[in-house]
Amino acid sequence: MSEATFDTGALIALERRSQRIRQVVTRAVVLGVRISVPAAVVTEWWRARTDARERILSLLEVEPLSERIAKAAGEALAAVPGASAIDAIVMASAAARGAVVYTSDVDDLERLRSHFPAVRVFGVGGPGART
């Protein structure tokens, strides 16, 4: 793992102290792996400031939405009927950096792999997740 991208489900799993995602973070820190989260994911996840949310964000790099990522995500939405914009942004972001994605919505992100075949998707627990 050279870089990792978390989606909203991964942030929720961290907030709920899921053992699986905590192991991922611990291993990433030990190996010096960059963990990023697209800014749009923060929008979907953040409902109010809490100490726990601030700690979680301090572990991650929040990636702004660039025009290049926005266009790649839009093309994925056109290619994969029913995909969500935020899932497409997560996959486009990971594809641009050669990152793996951690999610609780494996099935949704796996459908987007038809457009981003190089991105590997790993489950962190929760509905629809496979590890």
CATH classification of the domain holding 100: 3.40.50.1010
In a domain, 74, yes or no: yes
In a domain, 85, yes or no: yes
In a domain, 129, yes or no: no
How many C-beta atoms lie closer than 10 Å to residue 76's C-beta?
Answer: 22
In a domain, 15, yes or no: yes
Domain count, the chain: 1
In a domain, 58, yes or no: yes
**Whole-number pLDDT of residue 6:** 98
Q: CA 48, CA 45: separation in Å to the nearest integer?
A: 9
**Whole-number pLDDT of residue 1:** 59
In a domain, 81, yes or no: yes
In a domain, 131, yes or no: no
Helix, strand, coil distribution of the chain in percent, nearest 5 = 55, 15, 35
**Whole-number pLDDT of residue 125:** 72
Token couple for 28: 């990433």
Residue 15: give the domain boundaries: 3-123
**Whole-number pLDDT of residue 128:** 42
Q: Which residue ranges of the chain lie beneath pLDDT 50?
A: 127-131
**Whole-number pLDDT of residue 126:** 52
Letter for the amino acid at 28? A
Say if residues 118 and 99 touch (Cβ distance below 8 Å).
no
In a domain, 130, yes or no: no
